[in-house]
Structure 1
């Protein structure tokens, strides 16, 4: 049949179909260009930014820990690190401070978050904003603040000495394990508050009201309703607290005494004082493995928390 006998509506429909196909093809081509551009941007970031700043230093660190003076492969640095009699004490001190500080900070952070969420008061928003701002402070600033307040020449210590007519300042615990744990608890507790508050915000308050209407007291509601639903967020905040506390250096450098040697301080001393770069690199790789393990656990728990919250 000749095109002269094709109805006008069929011609218009064919033209519309052609325009739609052209639009689809244009959108597909634009999507491919955006995808190709994103791939080039990622490659640029990997080569120009992450390469010299992250990848190369890590590769160089691992290479330094397994290379001898002649450029051959050796595990002497790891052998020297683990066979050193002082290493066991250093690792024990590191883990002891880690578990004490992170555990207390986590419990305090969860308690603060529960108080701010379930028992709000007129200054709740201001305190929450302060805790959010507090995480931006450098950790050594907290150490110096505690020294100015509770050190042997701090204002609180001198005030107590004058009030009670004491011959010596009553507070003298900061430069040691007690001061380190106190500073790390004060600094890292806010890191637990925010994830816990976010987890509490996803709770269905009708479940809590139903449990209370059935006669459950506050303890039963917390243990039977709140904790099972909010535990992924609480666990993520706790693991993050452990991760950050493990890598803490500023507080240890300010408040740690000569007898309080942790793994970061030992690595720092080996590299800058002893000039034993191979042993320092081996210790750094060990610490890096511990940190990456905690980070992998944090990511897994955080994904679970995100899935439960519907994200």
Structure 2
């Protein structure tokens, strides 16, 4: 009998396998412990002072009254007769701006993907770069172009020999919606393009070969397959528009008070920090609800891709 198949050799091989398995298990436990220590380090030294502590302080401040713990700030916030108008204005601008930006973003993504033209790739790269711009920069750009003293407005005045500049709509709800649509539409384009890229083009060609026109293909084939990416981009657009402040600060008028502006005014003008904290907590709850919905849709998108 060969020495390789002897009982001693088999025992040594089994022992070696057991030692190797034990070594791998020990290495895995060490990696898990290191991961736990890294997570603890991030929680204590990064997330703690930068995220967790400020949020806890914000909630505690909103619950602080003259005699300790109190819900007076929330009661004053919701009983204030101006609150309903502020929330109504916030929601009106949110749905108008984010809705139009979502429609424009999906339309741009569809044009870039299904009807490519010379320079389409360059436009896509510009839209990706555009999301890195600060929002107030877009507001100032619109002022320089379409404000009452902007180049376009002055050019139209001189061209048609008008007594006053014809464009005077930026400093109000019209200008805010225009700026937010221009700024946040690219945030919808990228997720929609990624969703289109995962489509099975054979299904689209099959639908066309069966006589379906462009609208039927779009609404009966493309949208049902790509809706997770479209929905994720739309919800992200709503989330970012809800928290927009720079555009409102630049283009908003004295009569256009939204929730972020009201919180800012309570903290810096009225010096009512508990009221500002209560409004911030309400806005944080709205933002976290939208973010949870975004995560759910995005998880379904990733799961569908698998």
Per the shorter chain, which TM-score range?
over 0.9
1:132 maps onto 2:128 in alignment: yes
Partner of 1:274: 270
Could you tell me how far 1:25 is from its partner in structure 2? 1.3
1:263 maps onto 2:262 in alignment: no
Between the aligned partners of 1:58 and 1:25, the Cα distance in structure 2 is 44
Partner of 1:17: 14
Matches within 5 A, 1:71-86: 72-86=68-82
Greater Cα shift, 111-120 or 17-26: 17-26
Could you tell me how far 1:13 is from its partner in structure 2? 3.3
Superposed CA offset, 1:186-227 (max 9, x none): 000000001101111111111100000010000000011001
1:307 maps onto 2:303 in alignment: yes
Between the aligned partners of 2:22 and 2:264, the Cα distance in structure 1 is 59
Between the aligned partners of 1:21 and 1:277, the Cα distance in structure 2 is 64
Task: Compute the TM-score of the two structures, normalised by the length of structure 2.
Answer: 0.97
Between the aligned partners of 2:51 and 2:33, the Cα distance in structure 1 is 24
Measured at CA, do residues 8 and 173 of structure 1 come closer, stay the same or move farther in structure 2, by a change above 3 Å? Answer: closer
Gaps (5+ residues) in structure 2? Answer: none
1:150 maps onto 2:116 in alignment: no
Could you tell me how far 1:20 is from its partner in structure 2? 2.1
Between the aligned partners of 1:105 and 1:8, the Cα distance in structure 2 is 73
Between the aligned partners of 1:8 and 1:293, the Cα distance in structure 2 is 65
Partner of 1:43: 40
1:99 maps onto 2:95 in alignment: yes
Measured at CA, do residues 148 and 20 of structure 1 come closer, stay the same or move farther in structure 2, by a change above 3 Å? Answer: same
Could you tell me how far 1:19 is from its partner in structure 2? 2.1
Partner of 2:179: 183
Between the aligned partners of 1:122 and 1:160, the Cα distance in structure 2 is 31
Could you tell me how far 1:288 is from its partner in structure 2? 0.4
**Superposed CA RMSD:** 1.2
Measured at CA, do residues 256 and 18 of structure 1 come closer, stay the same or move farther in structure 2, by a change above 3 Å? Answer: same
1:58 maps onto 2:33 in alignment: no
Measured at CA, do residues 213 and 18 of structure 1 come closer, stay the same or move farther in structure 2, by a change above 3 Å? Answer: same
Between the aligned partners of 1:146 and 1:85, the Cα distance in structure 2 is 34
1:160 maps onto 2:156 in alignment: yes
Partner of 2:237: 241
Could you tell me how far 1:6 is from its partner in structure 2? 9.4
Gaps (5+ residues) in structure 1? Answer: none
2:248 is matched with which residue: 241, 248, 252?
Answer: 252
Could you tell me how far 1:299 is from its partner in structure 2? 0.5
Could you tell me how far 1:24 is from its partner in structure 2? 1.5
1:289 maps onto 2:282 in alignment: no
2:28 is matched with which residue: 26, 31, 35?
Answer: 31
Could you tell me how far 1:83 is from its partner in structure 2? 1.0
Between the aligned partners of 1:15 and 1:45, the Cα distance in structure 2 is 45
Partner of 2:294: 298
Measured at CA, do residues 91 and 8 of structure 1 come closer, stay the same or move farther in structure 2, by a change above 3 Å? Answer: closer
Superposed CA offset, 1:3-57 (max 9, x none): xx99453233333332222222111111110110000000010011111111111
Between the aligned partners of 2:2 and 2:291, the Cα distance in structure 1 is 68
Could you tell me how far 1:286 is from its partner in structure 2? 0.4
Partner SS, residue 132 of structure 1: helix
Count of residues in correspondence between the two structures? 305
